[in-house]
Chains A and B, each alone.
Chain A
Amino acid sequence: DSGVTQTPKHLITATGQRVTLRCSPRSGDLSVYWYQQSLDQGLQFLIQYYNGEERAKGNILERFSAQQFPDLHSELNLSSLELGDSALYFCASSASPDVAGYTFGSGTRLTVV
């Protein structure tokens, strides 16, 4: 157990639907990162939050949004899902917002059918 908890582990949903992925960072970590891993694109940075504020944004689609709550857990919302959104979505956390030796969660595998 890495200390970063992601739920659910697996998710199967239909095109056009909306889902929410949840992440609880390791105790004491203020920074949360979301990454998407797919066979064709590899591991891609989506977005980073630090202590509740958005810190950096990657190639995150407009259909995707995220937030970090006062208790530091984070949620990634994916809407109007397409087949191409099927991927592994990872959350990672770190104490510092500028040092990337993070701890990764085990991921949420999203399948869009």
Chain B
Amino acid sequence: SQELEQSPQSLIVQEGKNLTINCTSSKTLYGLYWYKQKYGEGLIFLMMLQKGGEEKSHEKITAKLDEKKQQSSLHITASQPSHAGIYLCGAPRAGGTSYGKLTFGQGTILTVHP
């Protein structure tokens, strides 16, 4: 099983609808990163959450971290076609010499119909 499980695996919504993507870890979270990827392209950093209960927003995207549940959620309000893509969560793992390396979830494919 994956260390980071994302749900749903794919999501199709109508423009203007709200949606939520979840990322659940099987191990202790020491922070959580959200990235967006257009198919076949590089990843774009969205947000970093470091503390339990932390919530960050950027434009219409809000992310929260629940350390007790070892889970993070990404919420998009009033979705637009520009939000379409693959959303990936990544988590640093304890041990070793670097907290910069990430373990990623398998990604959630978001399609937004105009």
Residues of A within 8 A of B (CB): 2, 4, 31, 33, 42-45, 48, 50, 55-56, 58, 88, 90, 92, 94, 96-107, 109
| B104 A98 Cβ-Cβ under 8 A | no
Q: CB-CB < 8 A to A48: which residues of B?
A: 98, 100-101
For the complex formed, measure the closest distance between the CB of B18 and the CB atoms of chain A, giving whole angstroms.
26
**A interface SS class:** strand
| A45 B101 Cβ-Cβ under 8 A | yes
A104's nearest neighbour on chain B, judged by CB, is B42
Q: CB-CB < 8 A to A44: which residues of B?
A: 104
For the complex formed, measure the closest distance between the CB of B76 and the CB atoms of chain A, giving whole angstroms.
20
- Given A42-B106, A42-B107, A43-B104: A98 in contact with B98 (beta carbons within 8 A): yes
A interface footprint on B74-114 (CB within 8 Å = 1, 0 otherwise): 00000000000000101010001111111111110000000
Q: List 13 A-B contacts (CB under 8 A).
A: A31-B100, A48-B100, A48-B101, A50-B98, A56-B98, A94-B100, A99-B99, A100-B33, A100-B99, A100-B101, A101-B45, A103-B45, A104-B43
Of the four ranges (under 10, 10 to 19, 20 to 34, 35 or more), the interface on chain B belongs to 20 to 34
> Is residue B29 within 8 Å, beta carbon to beta carbon, of the partner chain?
no
| A2 B42 Cβ-Cβ under 8 A | yes
The docked-state distance in angstroms from the alpha carbon of A99 to that of B100 is 5
The docked-state distance in angstroms from the alpha carbon of A70 to that of B111 is 43
Out of B40, B102, B105, which one reaches A100, CB within 8 Å?
B102
